[in-house]
Amino acid sequence: MITVITFNPSIDRLYKLDTFEIGMVQRASFVNPTAGGKGLNVAKVIKQLGENPRCLGFLGGYNGLYIKNELNKAGIVNNFTEIDGESRICLNIIDGDKNSTEILEKGPNINEKNILDFESKLDKVLENSKVLVASGSLSQGMPVDYYKRLGKICEKKGVKFILDTSGKSLEMAINENLYLIKPNIDELELLTHKKINNKEDAINASRFLLEKGVKNVCISMGKDGMIFLNKEHIYDVKIPKIEILNTVGSGDSSIAGFAYGVINDYSWEECLKLANSCGMSNALYMETGYINKKDIKTFSNEIKVSKYNLDS
Ligand code: ADP
């Protein structure tokens, strides 16, 4: 089973306006609320691929109930820890010129008791999990080294830990049994304190992460595909050009592709084709965390994966 953690889920409300003028009363021509947060996007795509993921994390208040209800409607099994605060709402306002303005709440505070409640659920769920995915930032009030702690828990239980986060909490976790991380170029620069100008720089920076103990490093590069490294090989993934509509959630969709591939014992070539196809398919639609199986089939045939020995 795949377990997916989202510590700070949100109701993502998309508003479309003809014009967006500061200081004026605005009327929305279209409103679309969805259950969001990086981990929930991952879970939605895993479900569409045909696995039944289990979601954990924190939910609270009416917003929390809304999110839970949306997951139940989508048939996504969830066992969130209830908290006193209110889960957040994030706004994305798109005007007639397709400019996007986002307003993101920080989300509720988590206390020690919430963390203990979460860990007792996690402990049970991990007994039946082969893969744990944690995506997105920690909640307010959580210790910054919490993902490092999750790495330790996974190591003890023999669970493959895929971590998709950034900043200090990722930096603190990298020598803690991480099975796979997927920084983009900006995140890789932050993590390694190096400027990345080309693929060669990205490969050298990733070697540093392998030396720290990360087992597999994937650098996602938007329209330029991916580079993937482990102790044995480098994989260079080239993808076809497509007409995109909305790339928000493409990174989460590729994480879903990796998790699906790993649980189904795919080779790395197959995993990379699936991960990129999922990211690309998501980019074709307005909805975040939506993929289409027909696209996956088409793109998988068009994506080229080249494999090299690490020291070549
Ligand atoms: P993140 O959202 O984490 O920054 P990326 O933007 O690199 O991740 O997207 C993840 C994957 O989604 C890419 O490796 C690629 O396969 C696909 N993708 C993202 N943006 C595009 C794009 N503009 N054109 C084609 N594919 C894309």
Instruction: Report H helices in 134-247.
Output: 146-157, 168-171, 185-192, 199-212
Mean pLDDT across the stretch 232-261?
A: 95
Expressed in angstroms and rounded, the spacing between residue 31 Cα and the centre of ligand 1 is 26
Catalytic residue among 252, 265, 295, 311: 252
Q: Is the CB of 166 under 6 A from ligand 1?
A: no
pLDDT above 90: residue 51 = yes
- Specify the pLDDT at position 177: 81
Asked whether the beta carbons of 17 and 28 are under 8 A apart, the reply is yes
Our mutation pick for probing the ligand 1 site, out of 280, 284, 295, counting the most ligand atoms within 8 A of Cβ, is 280
* pLDDT band for position 311 (cuts 50, 70, 90): confident
Mean pLDDT across the stretch 178-191?
A: 93
pLDDT digits (tens, 9 = 90+) for 16-29: 999 999 999 999 99
- Specify the pLDDT at position 312: 57
Asked whether the beta carbons of 257 and 300 are under 8 A apart, the reply is no
Q: Is the CB of 244 under 6 A from ligand 1?
A: yes
What domains are there in the chain, each with its CATH number? 2-309 (3.40.1190.20)
Expressed in angstroms and rounded, the spacing between residue 156 Cα and the centre of ligand 1 is 33
Mean pLDDT across the stretch 90-111?
A: 92
Residue given tokens 């190591």 in the structure block: 155
Expressed in angstroms and rounded, the spacing between residue 244 Cα and the centre of ligand 1 is 10
Distance CA 9, CA 35 (A): 7
Q: Which atom of ligand 1 is nearest to the CA of 276?
A: 16
pLDDT digits (tens, 9 = 90+) for 54-85: 999 999 999 999 999 999 999 999 999 999 99
Distance CA 258, CA 276 (A): 9
* Mean pLDDT, the chain, whole residue set: 95
Does 84 participate in catalysis according to the annotation? no
Expressed in angstroms and rounded, the spacing between residue 283 Cα and the centre of ligand 1 is 8
Give the list of residues 6+ apart from residue 182 with CB closer than 8 angstroms, or none: 162, 164, 218, 219, 220, 251, 254, 255, 258
pLDDT digits (tens, 9 = 90+) for 101-145: 999 999 999 999 999 999 999 999 999 999 999 999 999 999 999
Does pTM top 0.85 for this prediction?
yes
Query: What phi and psi values does residue 259 have, to the nearest 5 degrees?
Result: -60, -40
Distance CA 291, CA 251 (A): 12
Our mutation pick for probing the ligand 1 site, out of 247, 277, 285, 299, counting the most ligand atoms within 8 A of Cβ, is 247
Sign of CA dihedral 241, 245, 246, 252: negative
